[in-house]
Amino acid sequence: MKENALCLSSVKNISWDAYQIFLAVARHGGLTGASQASGLSPATVGRRVLDLEQNVGRQLFLRSQAGYRLTADGQALFEQLQAMDAVVRKVDGWRQEAHGTAVVRLMAGTWGTWLICENIQAIRSDRDGFRLDMSVSERRATLAHREHDIGIRAVVPDELNLTRRHAGDVAYAAYRQRNAPDGLAASWISVSEEDAISPYLRWPHENAGASIAVIVSRPRSMLDLARAGVGQAVLPCFVGDLDPGLERASEELKSLRHTQWIVTNSEDRHRREIRTVSDRLFRLLKSHADLIAGKRPSRTV
C-alpha cells in the first residue's frame, strides 16, 4: 500500500503528458517506437523519461542496446497508469460521442494498411459520422487498455478481454521485377535486422544475408525497389500478385504462412462505429481471402 500511495501521489504532481511518454516507451520497448507513436524525437523522449525518473525519485527502466526494460518500480507504475489510461480513453470517447466526433483507432501492419488504403471507401465513406485514425506498425496491436479500438493480428489473441474474428490465412513469396534478368536473383532487398520484427522481414537475413543489396527502414519501400528492378523482396502474395510490374521469384514460402485475426476490446465491440468498421474490415479481408492466402489471380493475356 505504501508503494502504491507513493506512485499515486506523484501522479498528482506530474503532467499526464509525461506519463503518456512513459507508457509509450514501456509499450514499445525503447525510444524508437515511442518516438514514432508520440511524434517526438528519440532524444526528446529519452530526456522526458530521465526527467520523470528524477521527479519520482526512482529508476523506471533498465537501458541496454536491446532496448528499455521496466524495473520493478517501473512495472508498478506501468500497471497503475495503464488502468488510468483506460479510464481517460473511455471518458474521451464518451466526450467525443457527445460532440459527434467519435474516433475509431485502427492498427494494422504495413500491408494490411496498404490494402485498407487501396479500398478505403469500403471502410469509411463521407457519410460516416466518425473519424478513422490508422496506425501502421509491424508490432502487435495493443487493445487491452484501449490503446487502439481495432487491430489486425498475425497470431491468435490470448487476452481474455479481446474478441477475435478469424479473417483467413496470409501467404508470402519472393518477388522481382517482371521479366527481370536472371542476375537479379543474387540481389535481395530487406529492412535492417533491428527493424525485422516479423518472420517475413527476418527471412532474407536468415536465408540470404550475404546477398542483401539494399536495406531500407520501412517495409513499404521494398515494394517500390523490387518494382524498380533493384532486387527481389519477400512480400505478401496479395501485394506481389496484384502488382503488374512484379512476378514471383519463388514458390510460396510456406514457413511464413500464418492466420490473420481482427481483434476488438470485448467491452467496446458493440459501440456502433467500432462495430461498423470491424464488420467492413472483415468483409474486405474475406473478399480478398483467396489472394491473401496465395491463390494467384487470373490474368487476361
* Residue 35, pLDDT score: 82
Continuous H helices in the chain = 2-13, 16-28, 31-38, 42-56, 72-98, 110-118, 199-207, 220-227, 237-240, 272-287, 289-292
pLDDT digits (tens, 9 = 90+) for 79-114: 888 778 777 766 766 666 655 568 898 999 999 999
* Dihedral sign of CA atoms 186, 188, 193, 196 in order: negative
Question: What's the CATH class of domain 172-256?
Answer: alpha beta
Higher confidence at residue 97 or residue 168? Answer: 168
How many CB atoms within 10 Å of residue 232?
31
Q: What is the model's pTM? A: 0.68
pLDDT at position 98: 58
**What was the pLDDT predicted at 83?**
78
- Domain range annotation of the chain: 2-93, 100-167+263-288, 172-256
Right CATH for 100-167+263-288 from 3.10.450.50, 3.60.10.10, 3.40.50.620, 3.40.190.10? 3.40.190.10
Query: CATH assignment of 2-93?
Result: 1.10.10.10
Instruction: Give the residue with greater pLDDT, 262 vs 145.
Output: 262
